[in-house]
């Protein structure tokens, strides 16, 4: 069931979203070669709680950490641990924050030190794909347009679109209806209405779109081991467009 949020609910989601944004900014400032992914996880956990939130992913579906950290060919759901970040890596931080029972969900991929031109290309165009898709959102628009636009943008730039994982509604639960795929056809799908809150999150690969799950049952990696990027905002549908909830 797709729910329309009241302004009161949207205010709470914005609060959760803002702490999510601040956590991203804080972690971004810590990223450098030589640190472990567990260090970033623990700093995120502390930071979120200090700002009145609870990490939204911890123990959800039995996930064992506070945030997801995926390096290079890891697409999403990487579990933080002893892995040490190296110069030239890219690292995707996917963060959930809950405040007053409302979730926010935002992911961003960051460079570790100096990265290759092709990794720069991937990061640049995956972020662009997110905002290109968001442009389709407004009251009365078809949901399929968002995925169609993202897919079209990715194809134009020769990037693989992960299809097995999709964006979603967000609210009192992290994952609500509807699904928001990063592919699709124009003028299909449900009609968006003001007050719907969605996580839009393209996951694009430098190579094949094909992925598989590692033996830890969580980490998803590209089949050809080429790098993958992930950019995600939680937004609310407005009469004339959208408003980002996981922002400043």
Determine if 105 is a binding residue for Mg ion (CB under 5 A).
yes
Piece of 37-45, 98-106, 129-137, 208-216 that binds Mg ion (CB under 5 A): 98-106
Residue 73 CA to residue 225 CA, distance in Å, equals 5
Residue 210 CA to residue 205 CA, distance in Å, equals 9
Determine if 199 is a binding residue for Mg ion (CB under 5 A).
yes
Determine if 107 is a binding residue for Mg ion (CB under 5 A).
yes
Determine if 74 is a binding residue for Mg ion (CB under 5 A).
no
Q: Environment class of residue 175 by beta-carbon count within 10 Å: exposed (0-12), middle (13-18) or buried (19+)? A: middle
Query: Site size for Mg ion, by CB under 5 A?
Result: 5
Residue 94 CA to residue 231 CA, distance in Å, equals 9
Q: With respect to Mg ion, which residue has the nearer C-beta, 9 or 94?
A: 94
Q: With respect to Mg ion, which residue has the nearer C-beta, 9 or 176?
A: 176
Q: With respect to Mg ion, which residue has the nearer C-beta, 43 or 232?
A: 232
Determine if 203 is a binding residue for Mg ion (CB under 5 A).
no
The residue written with tokens 């290109």 in the block is: 132
Residue 170 in contact with residue 197, Cβ under 8 Å? yes
Query: CA–CA distance from 185 to each of 111, 142, 155, 165, 180 (Å)?
Result: 32, 10, 14, 17, 12
Q: Which of 74, 94, 136, 151 binds Mg ion (CB under 5 A)?
A: 94
The residue written with tokens 């030190």 in the block is: 113
Q: With respect to Mg ion, which residue has the nearer C-beta, 94 or 176?
A: 94
Binding region for Mg ion (CB under 5 A):
94, 105, 107, 199, 232
């Amino acid at each position: 069931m797709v729910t329309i949020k009241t302004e009161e609910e949207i205010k709470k989601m914005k609060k959760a979203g803002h702490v999510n944004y601040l956590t991203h900014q804080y972690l971004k400032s810590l990223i450098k070669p030589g640190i472990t992914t567990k260090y970033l996880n623990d700093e995120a956990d502390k930071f979120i709680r200090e700002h009145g939130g609870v990490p939204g992913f911890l123990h959800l579906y039995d996930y064992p950490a506070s945030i997801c950290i995926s390096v290079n060919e890891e697409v999403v759901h990487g579990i933080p641990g002893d892995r040490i970040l190296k110069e030239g890596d890219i690292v995707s931080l996917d963060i959930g924050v809950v405040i007053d029972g409302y979730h926010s969900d935002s992911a961003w991929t960051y460079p570790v030190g100096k990265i290759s031109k092709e990794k720069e290309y991937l990061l640049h165009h995956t972020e662009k794909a997110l905002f290109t898709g968001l442009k389709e959102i407004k009251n009365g628009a078809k949901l399929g347009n968002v995925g169609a636009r993202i897919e079209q943008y990715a194809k134009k730039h020769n990037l693989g679109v992960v299809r097995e994982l999709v964006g979603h509604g967000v609210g009192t639960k992290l994952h609500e209806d509807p699904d928001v795929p990063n592919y699709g056809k124009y003028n299909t799908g449900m009609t968006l209405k003001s007050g719907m809150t969605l996580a839009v999150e393209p996951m694009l690969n430098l190579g094949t779109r094909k992925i598989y799950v590692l033996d830890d049952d969580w980490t998803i990696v590209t089949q050809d081991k080429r790098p993958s990027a992930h950019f995600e905002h939680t937004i609310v549908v407005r009469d004339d467009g959208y408003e980002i909830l996981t922002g400043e």
